[in-house]
Amino acid sequence: MNMMAMRCGGETIIIDAGMGFPEADTPGVDIIIPDFSFIEDYRDEISAIVLTHGHEDHIGAVPFLLKEINVPVYGTHFTLAILERKLQEHGLIDSTVLHSVEPRDRVTLDRFEVEWIHVSHSLTSCTAVAVTTPVGVVIHSGDFKIDETPVVGPPTDLERLSEYGDQGVLALLADSTNAERPGRTQSERAVIPALEKIFEEAEGRIVLSCFTSSVHRIQIVLDLAREYGRRVALLGRSMLRNVETADSLRQLDVPDGLFISASEARNTDDDQLLLLVAGCQGDPMSAMTKLATDQHKNLSVDEGDTVVLSARQIPGNEPSISRLISHCYKRGAQVIDSSLARVHVSGHGSQEDLKILIEATRPRFLVPIHGEHRQLYRHRDWASSSGVVDPENIVVFENGDVLELDESRAEITAKEVVGRTFIDASYEEVEDLVVRDRKHLSYDGIVVAIVAINPTSGELESEPEVVTRGFIHEEDSSEMLGELKRLIEGTVNGAAHEERIDYAVIKEKIRLALKRFIQKATGRRPMIIPVVVEV
């Protein structure tokens, strides 16, 4: 959920607005976006959304942000092509102004001048942005690594970054994702030998899953498929869409006749087939999991297949990836992931990459961004101990912090309210309270107590009813149900007449009585809903 606002003299620009995926603790939530309430005070002065690259964690929240503030969006052609599909889904394509830029393009706004500078990353057409302000130049690295030999596109534009360094850079905001890793991050090409060996040795089908945005990786795989005489079937909606977008914008070089459909793949010899599949994180609805569990309509993983997971495991996804691997083995396939061979390299720079960036830009202030808090602090510690920046000039700023900069000073001066907004599959917001209730229900179930009370006499008109779900097995628990009913009767009968005819009061008395009793008897805290029926 990377998102930052930059403000100067009454103008604000937003750099990136990304989304995140929920973990298991938010049932019914499909995506998470930043809480935008902090922009409320600056709404009228926001002049642009500036995008660094097309990854979901940098652009996924843009459609939701545009519903709040309709301002022009700037990014490279490819970044905007990825965004356009989202805008279409949200019905925003006609109302949004998109300005596509090339690296080294400069856009002059009121107080800011923004230049996009090409950087290497796992996706292509990625950029850092250099923002020239009246108090100095601020460089935001985007997500980057220093890859001298990327597969698609040029390497990181160190020349332009150094020119900024020559002129003087006030602050560098740098990607901390791999700040804990010593040395350099390897080139995208580093996976070629291991993948080549797989193509060399595989006698059956090759089933390869990677992130559908890993354009360099996909190009390598397509090149190997051509070289080893394998046709390629793309499986999974996001794989088809992303490859199509990348191909149409010449981010990929696809040989004619390489692709075949899933149904053609059924009739292709195993040793002449490569399945390139979405779902490397083991998402249960993904094409890869469907293949591995025989749920796909055309194809499945089978005896003799070589399954390659060419991606990192995003923290939190390990259990589903592990299940995916087990399913593949059970079906008789071989599985190769990055624990067995170098089939994945990171798209984020390690310490020596960061050092190259810092030495090129020579910032007065270094501000670690992107990554968990731990990584921001490790970035700071590494940078101070390695002497690349004066330790006093390294500022860690966390989510919500307001960093104030002038020619000679960088200080955290305030904190804005930031947080998460939950979104469901129909792109509607799900309130925190709703998610909390769902969690509560999923842990301890629900108990509904139904009583019929005469509104005049306040007497019970019939025996109370108790309905439960996810709490006890009712047929086996008649004793417990009987006790709950007697407790409700006792609570109503023991209440004063005024309490009994005030339904809000009697409902709360029933709820508390049940809650105390159930907690004592079972140690559990189901959701309790008393219902009073007026007779």
Residues recognised as catalytic: 175, 348
- DSSP letters of 246-302? HHHTTSS---TT-EE-HHHHHTS-GGGEEEEES-TT--TTSHHHHHHTT-SSS----
Residue 145 binds Zn ion, judged by CB under 5 A: no
How far apart are CB 127 and Zn ion at their closest, in Å? 11
Q: Which is nearer to Zn ion, 143 or 337 (CB)?
A: 143
Range in contact with Zn ion (rule: CB under 5 A) among 140-148, 172-180, 357-365, 404-412: 140-148
Q: Which is nearer to Zn ion, 239 or 273 (CB)?
A: 239
Q: Which is nearer to Zn ion, 122 or 468 (CB)?
A: 122
How far apart are CB 522 and Zn ion at their closest, in Å? 48
Q: Which is nearer to Zn ion, 55 or 364 (CB)?
A: 55
- The single-letter DSSP state of residue 268 is S
Range in contact with Zn ion (rule: CB under 5 A) among 50-58, 388-396, 417-425, 438-446: 50-58
Binding residues for Zn ion restricted to 111-130, rule: CB under 5 A:
none
Asked whether 44 and 72 are in contact (CB, 8 A), the reply is no
- The single-letter DSSP state of residue 43 is G
How far apart are CB 55 and Zn ion at their closest, in Å? 4
How far apart are CB 259 and Zn ion at their closest, in Å? 26
Q: Choose, by CB under 5 A, the member of 115, 143, 175, 444 that binds Zn ion.
A: 143
Binding string, residues 61-100; x marks residues near Zn ion by CB under 5 A: ----------------------------------------
- The single-letter DSSP state of residue 201 is H
How far apart are CB 329 and Zn ion at their closest, in Å? 31
CA 110, distance to chain mean position in Å, is 32
Asked whether 527 and 446 are in contact (CB, 8 A), the reply is yes
Q: Helix-strand-coil percent breakdown of the chain, rounded to 5?
A: 35, 25, 40
Find where tokens 């004592």 sit.
520
Residue 216 binds Zn ion, judged by CB under 5 A: no
Residue 93 vs residues 76, 98, 427: alpha-carbon distances, Å: 17, 9, 16
Asked whether 311 and 211 are in contact (CB, 8 A), the reply is yes
Asked whether 394 and 365 are in contact (CB, 8 A), the reply is yes
Q: Which is nearer to Zn ion, 143 or 147 (CB)?
A: 143
Range in contact with Zn ion (rule: CB under 5 A) among 8-16, 72-80, 136-144, 282-290: 136-144
Q: Is 248 helix (H, G, I), strand (E, B) or coil?
A: helix
Strand ranges (E), 96-164? 98-101, 106-108, 113-119, 126-133, 136-140
Residue 55 binds Zn ion, judged by CB under 5 A: yes
How far apart are CB 195 and Zn ion at their closest, in Å? 22
Which amino acid is present at 529?
A: I
For Zn ion (CB under 5 A), the number of binding residues is: 2
Q: Is 132 helix (H, G, I), strand (E, B) or coil?
A: strand
Range in contact with Zn ion (rule: CB under 5 A) among 49-57, 130-138, 216-224, 241-249: 49-57
Residues engaged in binding Zn ion (CB under 5 A): 55, 143
